[in-house]
Amino acid sequence: MLSKILPVLLLVAFTAGCSVRGLTPSLNGVAQTQSGPSDGGLSSARKRHHFVYWTLFASCSYPQLQYAAVPLHVKSKAKNLDCTSKNGLSESSALHVDPSGRLWVIVFGPYSGDPGAAEVFKLPLKPTSVPELLFGLKGTSDPDHLTFDASGNLWVSSHNQGVTEYKGPFKKSGILSPALTLTDGISRPAGLALDKKGNLYVANFIGSAGTAIAVFKAPISKKHSYYLTGITQPGGLIFDKSGDLYASMNGPSQYGIVRYDSDNLGSGATPNIVDSTRLSVSYESDFAFSSTGDLYFANCGSTANIYGYPTGKKKFSSKLAPSVDFTDAQMQQAGCAWGIAIK
């Protein structure tokens, strides 16, 4: 029945507008604010056609996506993509650029997240952009992170369910049915990342420090292989070009970014570097690297903002502080920056 009903509802959601999830404060009269260092400090090579995109994971009272040129500075002026009847965006969360250079956005869609939906946009965005494709994500419930493997297959995590795989290519709107669903050894899965060998790493948000990141070795099956350890409540995950894995630890007693070196990703591994500099009571939801190697993350914690680290010029270390702390009025009112992507 779902496969027959959802295409109609997807079309209705796409053409009739976005849903509002609860009441939200008015933005009228709120001035734009920025905080942090006066200079950016990120790698100076500006790629004018490169942008950083982020979501606020908020109702239609707020922008669904914001974006600004890379490198981001504290004085950058973000442009907004609002919830409209033409784009169908609502409660936009996870972002990822697929192998074809298109931006995928997880939205609540016609079923208010159960299952979720994904919209696909051509880049760069404009305030009037509309999705090229729209997919129902059968088998998900409140999905909020996604990634792609080397074969172009889509992986999505549902915070109260599991991780689902969908086989590409994705050329025509419709309902996607899971090729595989992973639940073993993960509790409230969050960030996802795949290494060069095709092994899948899943942030285990409500697991213990001994079960922080579940690893599913390639070829991936329903039974997880082992855990990386040493952090609590991990959010986003990302690999750099050297194969080092970055993860967040989001409390309750310590907050920061950690790195597992590429030669330290076996069972029971603990972080090689723990960096808590200038981070407190944050919720680092997801990461993105710029083309120059600078690390950005979206913070949905007590101070909604985008942090930037000058890792294109400086080595990541236990004392490396963010050189950019960007926020604005819409982000502050929404109280969250969630998904992030750079292209």
Domain count, the chain: 2
Residue range 312-330, pLDDT digits in tens: 999 999 999 999 999 999 9
**What was the pLDDT predicted at 42?**
65
Confidence of residue 53 (pLDDT cuts 50, 70, 90): very high
Let me know whether 106 and 200 are in one domain.
no
Between the alpha carbon of residue 287 and those of residues 13, 91, 135, 327, the distances in Å are: 29, 19, 24, 16
**Of 46-60, 98-112, 145-159, 258-272, minimum mean pLDDT range:** 46-60
Q: State the sign of the Cα–Cα–Cα–Cα dihedral 166, 100, 241, 67.
A: negative
Q: Is 36 exposed, middle or buried (0-12, 13-18, 19+ CB in 10 A)?
A: buried
212 domain-assigned: yes
CATH number at residue 270: 2.40.10.500
On the question of pLDDT at 160 being above 80, the answer is: no
| Enclosing domain of residue 247 | 187-276
What is the model's pLDDT at position 281? 75
Q: Is residue 106 part of a domain?
A: yes
Q: Is residue 120 part of a domain?
A: yes
**Residue 182: what pLDDT?**
97
- For residues 106 and 270, give the distance between their C-alpha atoms in angstroms, rounded to a whole number: 31
In this predicted structure, the answer to whether residue 31 has a pLDDT above a threshold of 70 is no
Residues 9 and 129 in one domain: yes
Last residue of a domain, one of 121, 153, 183: 183
Percent of the chain with pLDDT over 70: 86
In the 3-class helix/strand/coil scheme, how is 269-312 assigned residue by residue?
A: CCCCEEECCCCCCCCEEEEEECCCCCEEEEECCCCCEEEEECCC
Which of 247, 276, 305 delimits the end of a domain? 276
Q: Is the pLDDT of residue 32 over 90?
A: no
- Shared-domain flag, residues 5 and 101: yes
Q: Are residues 10 and 119 in the same domain?
A: yes
Structure confidence by residue, pLDDT tens digits, 100-151: 999 999 999 777 889 999 999 999 999 999 999 999 999 999 999 999 999 9
**DSSP secondary structure code for residue 151 in this structure:** T
